[in-house]
């Protein structure tokens, strides 16, 4: 068993599941989506992004691209949250939360593509 591949697979799947945990729930529900959960999704996706550097194969480049898309979406969601609450000093409302959750949904799609790539690469190597 290759420990590097185990760690890589762990973080790819972990990034997807943590992002899903933030995304799930009512789109506009302020109480259903926690800032700490979004922060965890950003951190774990950042770790996953770093782990994807160095693979010079075509599928490695696609893995990296999906991770970059997820990071862009999650960072944008975090910036929207920070801007609305900390800079504008407005209470969180349903419309802003819907924007944040929608951006997280885009990151979730990128994470799902990355998991599908991981599974297809694993199946291809066992043949």
Give the pLDDT confidence score for residue 110 in this predicted structure: 97
- pLDDT tens-digit profile of 9-28? 999 999 999 999 999 988 88
pTM of the model: 0.91
- pLDDT tens-digit profile of 47-57? 999 998 878 88
Phi, psi (degrees; rounded to nearest 5) at 29: -75, 115
CB contact at 8 A, 99 and 17? no
Phi/psi zone of residue 94: left (φ > 0), alpha (ψ -120 to 50 degrees), beta?
A: alpha
Per-domain boundaries in the chain: 3-125
Give the pLDDT confidence score for residue 17 in this predicted structure: 97
- pLDDT tens-digit profile of 92-109? 999 999 999 999 999 999
């Amino acid at each position: 068993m290759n420990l590097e591949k185990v760690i890589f697979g762990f973080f790819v799947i972990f990034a997807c599941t943590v992002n899903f945990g933030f995304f799930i729930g009512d789109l506009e529900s302020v109480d259903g989506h926690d800032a700490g959960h979004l922060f965890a999704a950003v951190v774990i996706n950042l770790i996953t992004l770093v782990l994807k550097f160095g693979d010079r194969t075509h599928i490695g480049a696609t893995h990296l691209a999906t991770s970059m898309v997820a990071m862009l979406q999650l960072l944008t969601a975090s910036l929207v949250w920070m801007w609305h609450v900390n800079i504008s000093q407005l209470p969180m409302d349903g419309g802003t939360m819907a924007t944040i959750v929608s951006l997280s949904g885009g990151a979730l799609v990128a994470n799902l593509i990355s998991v599908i790539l991981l599974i297809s690469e694993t199946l291809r190597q066992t043949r």
